[in-house]
Each structure stands twice: as C-alpha cells, then as structure tokens.
C-alpha cells in the first residue's frame, strides 16, 4: 500500500474514531459514528465530483486541492495524459516529416494491396502518372494506368523486372516502373522519370545512324574511283601497292559503316516476330559449308541434338551464326576443331559454338560485346574483324529474348552459348523430321 | 473496389463478376490505347515494321471484344441486373463496340504507316499528324480514365475536346488539298495522309461516345446528340 493510500485509510479511520469518541462523550456513540461516516462520504463525493468535472472539462487546475489518494490519482492521471499529448504531437510531427520526405522524393511510389488496388501514393506519383490521391484510392492501379506491359508486370510478381512505359501525362515522357514487395501482402510500385535518359540514348542512336548514312555516299565515290584506278593499265608501278591498300581500307570502312547501320537498326527495333520459324540445323550446315575448305580453317563439325525450330528472324540468326563462326575461325589454328551445336530442353534451346583456339582471359569476357572492343590491342586489324560482330550478336539475341553466355580458358578454347527461352522454340515431332 | 458504388450486392459472386468485367473493359482500353500510340509513332518515325505489327495485333482487340460481349450476355441472362448495374452492362456493351472500332482505325493507320514509310517523307516528318494523333490519344486516355473513375466532369471535358480535334482535322485536310494542288505528283502520298487524319478524327468521335456512355452510366441521362452546354448545366448529382 502506498503512502497516500495509507494516509487516506488512516484519515477515514481517524474521523470515524473521533466521531465515535465525541458521540460516546454525549452517551450516543452510534449517532457520532453516523455523523462522522456521512462527513467522510461527503468529503469523498466532493473529490469524486471535482475529478469528474476536471475530466469532463479538461481543466485540471481546479483539482489542485485534491487530497490523499485522490491527489495521487490525479497527478498520475495528469502525468499520463500530458505524456500522451506529447507523444501524439511527436508522432504527428514525425508523420508529417515522413509524408514530406515521401513527397519530396523525385520517384513516384504507389502502395498497392494484394489485389493491386491503390492504398496510397506520393506526390511524384500524382505528377508522373496522373493519379488522384483521394479519388483513386481503392481502384486497381492497372485500371488507371492501362499500359498492357504494366499489367503484365503486376501479374508476374517479378520483383526484379522493370519496364518502360509512356507517361500517361504530357507527351513524350517515359517512366521506368518496377514492383517491390512491401509490408504484409502489399506491394510498392516505383516509377522513375527516364525521359531524359531515353531521349539521350535515342539521340546517340540517331547520331550513329545518321553519321554512318552520311559517310556512306562520299565513301562510295572514293572507292569507285579507287576501283577504276586499280584496273588502270598505265598505272606507275610505285602506285600499285598504295592504291590496293587504299582499296582494301575503303572496303573495310564500308563494312564498318554497314555494320554500324545494322546495329542501330537492331537497337531501334522491338522484339523479333514469333511468326516465322527457322530450321536451325539446316542453317548451321549452310554456315559450315560457307567457311569450310578455305586455307587455314580448322575442322568444323555440326552436332544436331535437336530438331526443334526457332521462332525469329532467319537472316538475323544467320548473322549470329556467321559472326560467331568467323570469330572462331580467326582464333583457332588449322589443327583445331570448331563445333556448332543445337540442343533443346524443357527450359529452352541452346545454340553453341565451341572452338579449341587461343581462348579469352576471364577479365575481358564481360566486355566482349562492347563496340570496337579488342582483347589484343596490338593485334593487327587486318584479320578481317570490324570489332562490331559480337555487339551485333548481342543485339540480335536481345531481340530474340536470348542470352549470350561466354566461357573460356586461355590456351584451351572458348564456348559461346546462345540461350533461347522455351517460348521461342517449337518442337518438331520426330516423324515429321525423318 | 468500394468507390464505384457497384459492389454493394448481397451476392458476392455478382460483385466479383461485375468487377472482373470492369477490369476487362479497362484492360481492353489499355490495349487499344497502346495500339493507337504505336500506330501514331509508326507514322512519325516511318517504321513500316511497327505499322504492320499494329495491324497484325488487331485480332487481340477483337478477341477481347467477343469475350467481354459474351460475359455481358451471361450476366444479363443469369443475374437480371437492374438500375445502375443494368446501366453499367449496357454502357459496357456499347463502350467495347467503340473500342473495337478504334482498334480497327488503329489497324488502318498501321497499314497506312507501312505504305507511307516507303514513300518520300516530308521534312517535318508528319508533325501535324503527330499533333493530331497525340491529341486524340490524350482524349482516348482521358475517356478511359473517366470510365475507370466514373467521373462525369472529366467525361464532359473530354467530350467537349472533340470539337477541337474536328477543327484540327479541318485544318489538316485544307493543308493536304493545298499540297495536292501545288504538286500533283504528291497526290498519292497526301491521299494516304488524309486517310490517316480521317481515322484519327473518327477515333476522337469514338472517344467522345465513350464519354457519353460514362455520363449515361453515372447519371442515367442520355446526352447523345445534345449540346453539352445545356446538359452540363444540370447538377451532376441529379440521378
């Protein structure tokens, strides 16, 4: 029992005792006890009433003269109440700060529940995607942002994929969207404004395409005259070699420009059509025949482990095979072997080019598909490569939803594996093949 | 979702049916919007491959129309909806018809884009068509937003926007006529341009129709063939 409680009990007992004592002096102890008890009751009721009033009005200054246990209860209550008010203010301030910071975020964020219905969004989402905070609460987000790609992203539950979507507000804007898991059964749709980035990469693409195109016409004139000169019979002997070299370099430039144009076309194009199917084995055989029989060419073998066909663009896939094969031929000595393989499984199909050539250091492998990247800077460029072959391979594969996986061991050879997803592969029944 | 007011039915199955139907219509709207913006960018960038892709993908819009139509018929037959539910179903049946027509116009534009891509290109690469196309895309998007949010104020705004599209179409046609008179050799190409403009203008009309269905759905009021200034004076809450 606390001090105040003891005091209160003691006080009541004391008043009752005094009342009884005075009553006893007058020979009426019961009356004295009764009067004392009523006094106690009135005292307690007064405190109770004033406590109630203080609670009701919220004005606790009046209650200062609480006594005993009441005073204790009162101060305890006031303390708790003040603390709660202070906490509330703190939390409100914190909430305001959080809201301010989410609103200051340049990226749009939309909180979605398990059914993709909008729970809330920040200001950037409002501005980037035209969402309305109050009106759109409870709407499914793909009912407001109806881009089919976004719907697919939301349904896929893939938290690593991102898509680019045309901004629903204003013209020509682009948003990069991704979905991340958030809280219990919720998702966060993040949107980033990538308009500038898209514009920049388009500018770069356009520049490369235009420059290549503009350079082609003067080059045609130059190489035309060089061809005439090379055939001229009265050419001084000292000029024959320079003219031939100029001719060779002009042809090389033509090839580079052609490949640059091809690259920018591939970059600008969307996914390859699924409607045409390619007989890969036949394609491999054809490519093999094109390379075989020349001097300094290693033995080429074709390993057809599957008769499956590939959905895509025939001439582009042929470019891939030719580029990979010509790389292999250039880097494999005459006594080596090159294998072209095609195999398919449940997860998709692989087109594999393996050689027993000089191989590539592991540190260079990630950079192989960069434009004009060369492993051996000192190596002569006369081996016929433009430095664009693997970049073209990569872009064709991107257009066919495929990956390029390179593994190599210096001195032992390299393997280039193109992995196509299952929906790009059509299985052909054995009977039809035979 | 609670906001639409279409979900307070005793049968939860019915709620779900109606909600799914709405989602499907909006997904169809999204597909049509994507088709239209692809078709316009095929014209502007002279990308014949993209144009043909748009034309070939129109079957997806058609499939959606058929399946939504069937679903509407099923709901009408089994649930006998009344009042606002009935209006919703009726409005959806009409909306998908207009969406499908928009899909057809986008298909047409896709073919024309493939045709124009191989002809001479003007130095401004069809910037008027781009402006008109963006304007119409915007209208269609706002119309579908009004449908999703059941927002009649937006619906009135979009419907009124159609007059401006018509003006733009007028101006473009006049310009095309001038081109053809100046240089008869360009007639073949400019004819195609007028066809594209015509399709875009039609899409604007269809978007306007969708807005009218939204108004019908929310207010139960038929505002077709009336001047909007009169009908929008009425309180939007009058039901």
Q: Would the CB atoms of B2 and A146 count as touching at under 8 Å?
A: no
Which residues, in sequence order, are bridge partners of residue A118?
A: A112
Strand-strand pairing, A425-426 and A309-311: antiparallel
The pLDDT value recorded for residue A64 is: 58
Q: Would the CB atoms of B27 and A146 count as touching at under 8 Å?
A: yes
A406: helix, strand or coil: strand
Residues of chain A with pLDDT under 70: 1, 60-67, 170-171, 377-384, 429-434
Q: Which residue of B has its CA nearest to A142?
A: B27
Strand-strand pairing, A413-421 and A425-426: unpaired
**Are A236 and A379 members of one domain?**
no
**Are A393 and A341 members of one domain?**
yes
**Are A23 and A136 members of one domain?**
no
**Are A130 and A229 members of one domain?**
no
DSSP symbol at B140: H
Distance CA B31, CA B135 (A): 18
**Are A144 and A42 members of one domain?**
no
Interface check for B151 against chain A (CB to CB < 8 A): the answer is yes
Domain boundary among A268, A302, A328: A268
* pLDDT confidence band for B239 (50 / 70 / 90): very low
**Are A240 and A221 members of one domain?**
yes
Class of residue A416 by CB neighbours under 10 A (exposed 0-12, middle 13-18, buried 19+)? buried
Distance CA B109, CA B104 (A): 9
What fold, for B12-228? Answer: Methane Monooxygenase Hydroxylase; Chain G, domain 1 (1.20.58)
**How far does the CA of residue A386 sit from the closest CA of chain B (Å)?**
28
The DSSP result for A306-321, as a single string, is ---EEES-HHHHHHHH
A277: helix, strand or coil: strand
Q: What is the CATH number of the domain that holds A161?
A: 3.30.450.20
**φ, ψ (nearest 5 deg) of residue B9:** -110, 155
Percent of chain B whose pLDDT exceeds 70: 91
The pLDDT value recorded for residue B233 is: 47
Q: How many degrees, rounded to 5, is the angle at CA A130 between CA A125 and CA A132?
A: 85
Task: Retrieve residue A1's tokens.
Answer: 């029992």
A174: helix, strand or coil: strand
Q: Which of A18-32, A355-369, B207-221, B222-236 has the lowest mean pLDDT?
A: B222-236
Distance CA A20, CA A107 (A): 81
Domain boundary among A166, A193, A220: A193
The pLDDT value recorded for residue B228 is: 62
The pLDDT value recorded for residue B1 is: 42
The pLDDT value recorded for residue A433 is: 47
The pLDDT value recorded for residue B29 is: 93
Q: Residue B161: pLDDT above 80?
A: yes
**Are A281 and A423 members of one domain?**
yes
**Are A395 and A338 members of one domain?**
yes
CA A94, chain centre distance (Å): 30
> Closest partner residue to B144 among A140, A146, A171, by Cβ?
A146
DSSP symbol at A356: -
- Let me know: does A190 contact A109? Beta carbons within 8 Å: yes
DSSP symbol at B115: H
Q: Which of A216-225, A321-330, B12-21, B194-203 has the lowest mean pLDDT?
A: B12-21
Element (H, E) at A44: helix A29-57
Q: Would the CB atoms of B148 and A137 count as touching at under 8 Å?
A: no
The pLDDT value recorded for residue B201 is: 94
> Closest partner residue to B145 among A144, A269, A273, by Cβ?
A144
Nearest alpha carbon to residue B203 among B117, B134, B114: B134
Rg (chain A; Cα; Å): 42
**Are A261 and A299 members of one domain?**
no
CA A55, chain centre distance (Å): 55
Full residue range of the structural domain in which residue A286 is found: 277-433
What is the ipTM for the molecules in this complex?
0.78
The pLDDT value recorded for residue A120 is: 85
Bigger pLDDT: B58 vs B125? B58
Task: Retrieve residue A147's tokens.
Answer: 């881009």
**Are A292 and A424 members of one domain?**
yes
**Are A317 and A412 members of one domain?**
yes
Q: Would the CB atoms of B30 and A146 count as touching at under 8 Å?
A: yes
Taking CB atoms and an 8 Å cutoff, what residues of chain B touch A265?
Answer: none
Q: Would the CB atoms of A143 and B148 count as touching at under 8 Å?
A: yes
Number of domains into which chain A is organized:
4
CA distances, B143 to each of A8, A295, B216 (Å): 75, 68, 13
Q: Which of A14-18, A224-228, B81-85, B130-134 has the lowest mean pLDDT?
A: B81-85
**Are A20 and A111 members of one domain?**
no
The pLDDT value recorded for residue B111 is: 93
**How far does the CA of residue B221 sit from the closest CA of chain A (Å)?**
23
Domain boundary among A250, A268, A286: A268
How many residue pairs from chains A and B have C-beta atoms closer than 8 A?
55
């Amino acid at each position: 029992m606390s001090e105040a409680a003891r005091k209160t009990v003691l006080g009541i007992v004391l008043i009752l005792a005094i009342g009884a004592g005075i009553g006893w002096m007058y020979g009426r102890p019961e009356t004295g006890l009764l009067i004392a008890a009523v006094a106690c009751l009135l005292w307690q009721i007064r405190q109770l009433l004033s406590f109630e009033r203080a609670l009701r009005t919220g004005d606790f200054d009046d209650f200062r003269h609480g006594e005993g246990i009441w005073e204790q209860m009162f101060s305890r209550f006031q303390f708790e109440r003040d603390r709660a008010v202070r906490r509330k203010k703190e939390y409100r301030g914190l909430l305001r700060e959080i809201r301010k910071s989410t609103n200051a975020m340049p990226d749009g964020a939309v909180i979605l529940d398990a059914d993709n219905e909008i729970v809330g969004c920040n200001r950037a989402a409002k501005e980037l995607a035209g969402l309305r905070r109050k009106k759109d609460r409870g709407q499914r987000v793909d009912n407001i942002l109806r881009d089919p790609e976004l719907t697919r992203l939301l349904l896929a539950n893939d938290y690593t994929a991102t898509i680019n979507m045309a901004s629903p507000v204003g013209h020509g804007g682009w948003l990069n969207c991704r979905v991340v898991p958030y809280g219990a059964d919720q998702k966060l749709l993040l949107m980033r404004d990538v308009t500038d980035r898209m514009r920049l990469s388009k500018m770069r693409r356009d520049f490369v395409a235009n420059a290549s195109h503009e350079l082609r016409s003067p080059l045609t004139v130059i190489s035309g005259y060089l061809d005439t000169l090379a055939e001229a019979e009265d050419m001084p002997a000292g000029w024959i070699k320079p003219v031939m070299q100029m001719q060779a370099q002009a042809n090389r430039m033509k090839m580079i420009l052609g490949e640059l144009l091809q690259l920018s076309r591939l970059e600008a194009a969307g996914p390859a059509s699924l409607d045409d199917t390619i007989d890969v084995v036949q394609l491999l055989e054809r490519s093999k025949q094109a390379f075989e029989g020349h001097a300094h060419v290693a033995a080429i073998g074709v390993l057809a482990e599957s008769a499956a066909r590939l959905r895509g663009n025939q001439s582009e896939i042929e470019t891939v095979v030719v580029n990979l094969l010509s790389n292999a031929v250039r880097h494999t000595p005459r006594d080596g072997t090159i294998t072209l393989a095609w195999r398919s499984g449940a997860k998709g199909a692989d087109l594999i080019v393996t050689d027993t050539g000089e191989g590539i250091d592991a540190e260079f492998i990630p950079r192989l598909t960069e434009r004009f990247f060369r492993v051996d800077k000192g190596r002569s460029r006369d081996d016929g490569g433009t430095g664009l072959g693997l970049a073209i391979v990569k872009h064709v594969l991107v257009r066919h939803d495929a990956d390029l996986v390179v593994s190599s061991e210096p001195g032992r050879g390299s393997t280039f594996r193109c992995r196509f997803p299952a929906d790009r592969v059509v299985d052909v029944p054995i009977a039809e093949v035979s | 979702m609670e906001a639409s007011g279409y979900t307070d039915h005793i049968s939860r199955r019915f709620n779900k049916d109606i909600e799914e139907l709405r989602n499907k219509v909006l997904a169809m709207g999204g597909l049509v919007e994507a088709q239209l913006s692809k078709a316009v960018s095929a014209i502007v960038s002279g990308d014949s491959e993209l144009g043909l892709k748009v034309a070939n993908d129109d079957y997806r819009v058609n499939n959606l129309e058929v399946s939504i139509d069937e679903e509407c018929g099923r709901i009408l037959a089994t649930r006998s909806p009344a009042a606002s539910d009935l209006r919703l179903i009726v409005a959806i049946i009409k909306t998908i018809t207009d969406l499908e027509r928009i899909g057809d116009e986008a298909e047409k534009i896709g073919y024309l884009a493939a045709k124009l891509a191989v002809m001479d290109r003007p130095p401004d690469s069809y910037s008027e068509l781009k402006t008109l196309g963006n304007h119409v895309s915007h209208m269609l998007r706002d119309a579908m937003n009004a449908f999703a949010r059941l927002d009649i104020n937006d619906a009135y705004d979009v419907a009124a926007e159609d007059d401006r599209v018509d003006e733009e179409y007028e101006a473009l046609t006049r310009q095309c006529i001038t081109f053809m008179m100046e240089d008869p050799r360009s007639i073949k190409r400019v004819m195609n341009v007028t066809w594209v403009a015509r399709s875009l203008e039609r899409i604007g009309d269809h978007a306007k129709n969708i807005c009218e269905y939204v108004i019908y759905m929310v207010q139960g009021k038929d505002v077709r063939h009336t001047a909007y200034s009169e009908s929008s004076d009425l309180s939007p809450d009058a039901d």
